[in-house]
Structure 1
Amino acid sequence: MRALRSATAAAITVAAALTAAACTAKSDVAGDAGKAGAVQVTASDDACKVSKKEFPAGHVKLAVENKGSKVTEVYVYAPGDRIVTERENIGPGTRAAITAEVKAGSYEIACKPGMKGDGIRQKVTATGKGAAAKRDPKLDAAVAEYRKYVQQQADETLPKAKEFAEAVKSGDLEAAKKAYAPSRIGWERTEPVAESFGDIDPKVDVREDGLEDGQKWTGWHKLEQSLWKTKKISGDDKKLADRLITDLKDWQQRVGKAEITPTSMANGAKELLDEVYTGKVTGEEERYSHTDLVDFQANVEGAQKAYELLKPVAKKNDPALVRELDRQFEAIGKQLDEYREGDGFVAYDTVSKSDRKTLSDGVSALAEPLSKLAAAVAQ
């Protein structure tokens, strides 16, 4: 859903984004963002300037500064709008550091003021062979295990999604409601990998206010609206249920071919926390079903899986960071446990504003050190 941000969602999450961005800026300016050799990206409301149009392939560091008045996000796109890496929620007047592993080739760096649209883009080129040959074998093992994990999540999602779709097609409103949240867990755990393809996420996970001009609303959230708001399943909804399965099968077949690197795993973990910050904590993600905490848990689980696989190398390179991440993952897990009900969670509309603020603070406390994981494994 990151690829299609609405102005409404961005406005609602500005305060949260500024808190996260400020934390990131505090650490990044003193760290990798300030080191010589980084590609400086200066974002504003109407420009996206880069200090280098050509740089060596391998571990590339972007030092981003937002000089605009809007929260922005920065993407690195490969041809076909395949997402190499991204960083959301960069508040006005703040900075962020991004470390990514980039192969030789042509790319575009995009700044997205207001976190919507195709962004303001600059063409750049990575040259040479890069540093992949020097990679720690433990990182290759981590990538291999993570690849198995994302495929497993896709494989396990399909039966649950089919159960949901069959309930919709049979007109069974209550059965469809019950099957809705479980059908989304595997997707939410691995969403950054799915989003890297560029075209699947807008079909299955876009919200109504994230639609681009002329785009037809399809996917989970259109059906969510019918089930909880309209409280009626139409003939079009039944067709959309079939379309959802078709699109998820496409995801299942393509996910095993996704380009995954240690830094994309680390950045993806941070992106999952951004998802929590901009959608789940605010209640925007599941605005009709209020099943946000199920997604919240899945995002955290996906982030933690990537972290645990990268942990052996991160621990060698930055033991203090690993200690902090261990503490913060444990803390956010305990916070979520407070809202468990049966084998699920309470409806998010029953969570008070003060409790939402506490959850938001917990996510911020985890997101800040998690933003440093890519740099730790790229050493």
Structure 2
Amino acid sequence: MNKRNQLIILTAAIALVAAGCSKAAAPVTTTSAAPVASPTPNVTKVPAKEGAAAFLKSVDGLKGQLNQQKVDDPKKFSATLEGEWASFEDEIKPKYPELYVKVEKFLTPLMAGLTQEKLDFTLLGQLNDGLKGALTELSTSLADNKGAVNATAIAGSQPLQEATKAYNKYVQDQGNQLVTLLDQLNAAVKSGDLKKAQEAYVAARMPYERIEPVIERFSELDGVMDARVDDFKDENDPEFTGYHRIEQLLFVKKSIKEAEPFAARLLDDGKKMQQSIAATNIEAADFVTGVGELMEEAQTKKITGEEERWSGATVPVIRANVEGAQAIYDLVKGELKQKDAALDDKISKSLTAVLDAMNTLSPAGATWNDFNKLEQSKQVDLKNKLEALAEPLVKMPGTLGQ
């Protein structure tokens, strides 16, 4: 993450800590178990209780250093926090989506702040306290085996079963759109029309981003299709393929000829992804918890502008994440309103605010405003609105499971 985009996260963090950070300090209970291999390079997956205990220990260690206003190798500490969270976060996402987003809310700016040349010890201390509070709450829930999304109740609800069937159809439709739009991208690249190819590139991103939690089930294909240049030696690495290789060629090199083999490869991989999607079935609990993953992607990762760094199409990509979350919400809002009308109203109003903000920043459709050229205050405002939407949305699975 470059310095400019770190500032988006850190500026938003100032408002976050000004509102107050959780400082709960409940005891942590842990268990030991053998670690298992992770598909993420250099990260070993561990059981959630074990991972949370290790993470809390690191957070406590950081607190001591921050109090002394001296952190040993802060960039390395940032990487350590990221790795420890990655070791068990996949277990937390579907079971505790609300707590997952709460951890991310403090962890992301904390990691960004630790990579700055000059550390803001006051801000970092407040973020670290907030992270400890979120982790303590999570650890207590894990120890007591309470607070997880009630997958059994969700699966037993007839209205939610019907909604799940409709969502499975939505996912299939997006998979079909993916192939159609990748075919159009391939044709546009072959045509030699650079502007047409650039527009087709952004359009082809949309279905992929709307169903990202489902896409990520197929990690090998996802890695080939959507990996960023950061995962490779440089932009010329032959292993660097997919969307973002094409993005670099179309928007930086403006070499449409060089993009041809990568567009053809992406279309072939897109067809494989569509077939994988067609063969999968999303269960009810996975369906309703998908909102958390989509909103976490939007507000902590996409908002930095790093993913669409060359095209500047950050707002359209975030819009696709939000549309994916909205599709889930729209299918369950009748049931949600019966169980918690106030929560439904808050989601509806927050969703409208986010959509209005995005439409103001960049028009929906074939053209877009370069996110990297927008005023930082507007970028931060969008992040804050996304966070304000994420907070009620991730309460939805727990409410539906009541």
Using the size of structure 1 for normalisation, the TM-score is 0.71
Task: Identify the residue that residue 320 of structure 2 maps to in structure 1.
Answer: 298
Task: Identify the residue that residue 165 of structure 1 maps to in structure 2.
Answer: 186
Amino acid at match of 1:251: M
Structure 1 361/10 Cα, relative in aligned 2: closer, same or farther at 3 Å? closer
Q: Tell me the CA shift for residue 252 of structure 1.
A: 0.8
SS at match of 1:199: helix
Contact residue 154 and residue 401 of structure 2 kept, 8 A: no
Indicate the structure with greater strand content. 1
The gaps in structure 2 that reach 5 residues or longer are 33-42, 63-80, 108-127, 143-150
Contact residue 39 and residue 63 of structure 1 kept, 8 A: no
Structure 1 294/211 Cα, relative in aligned 2: closer, same or farther at 3 Å? same
Identify the match of residue 260 of structure 2 among 231, 238, 250. 238
Is 1:197 paired with 2:238? no
Indicate the structure with greater helix content. 2
**Structure exhibiting the larger radius of gyration computed from Cα positions:** 2
Is 1:229 paired with 2:252? yes
Q: Tell me the CA shift for residue 289 of structure 1.
A: 0.8
Spell out the pairing of 1:50-199 with structure 2 (5 A cutoff). 50-51=48-49, 66=56, 67-68=58-59, 70-71=81-82, 72-73=85-86, 74-76=88-90, 87=100, 89=104, 91=107, 92-93=128-129, 94=131, 95=134, 131=152, 135-199=156-220
Q: Tell me the CA shift for residue 28 of structure 1.
A: 12
Q: Deviations over 1:158-195 (max 9, x none)?
A: 12111111222344322211211111111111111111
Q: Tell me the CA shift for residue 153 of structure 1.
A: 1.0
Q: Tell me the CA shift for residue 297 of structure 1.
A: 1.1
Q: Tell me the CA shift for residue 152 of structure 1.
A: 0.5
Contact residue 5 and residue 306 of structure 2 kept, 8 A: no
Quick one: distance in 2 between partners of 1:63 and 1:265?
29
Is 1:373 paired with 2:357? no
Using the size of structure 2 for normalisation, the TM-score is 0.67
Amino acid at match of 1:227: L
Q: How many residues align?
A: 324
Q: Tell me the CA shift for residue 283 of structure 1.
A: 1.2
Give me the identity figure in percent: 28
Identify the match of residue 346 of structure 1 among 348, 369, 383. 369
SS at match of 2:89: strand
Structure 1 206/12 Cα, relative in aligned 2: closer, same or farther at 3 Å? farther
Let me know the Cα RMSD of the aligned residues.
Answer: 4.3
Contact residue 332 and residue 362 of structure 1 kept, 8 A: yes
Task: Identify the residue that residue 277 of structure 1 maps to in structure 2.
Answer: 299
SS at match of 1:278: helix
Spell out the pairing of 1:15-54 with structure 2 (5 A cutoff). 15=10, 50-51=48-49
SS at match of 1:216: coil
Identify the match of residue 355 of structure 1 among 355, 361, 378. 378
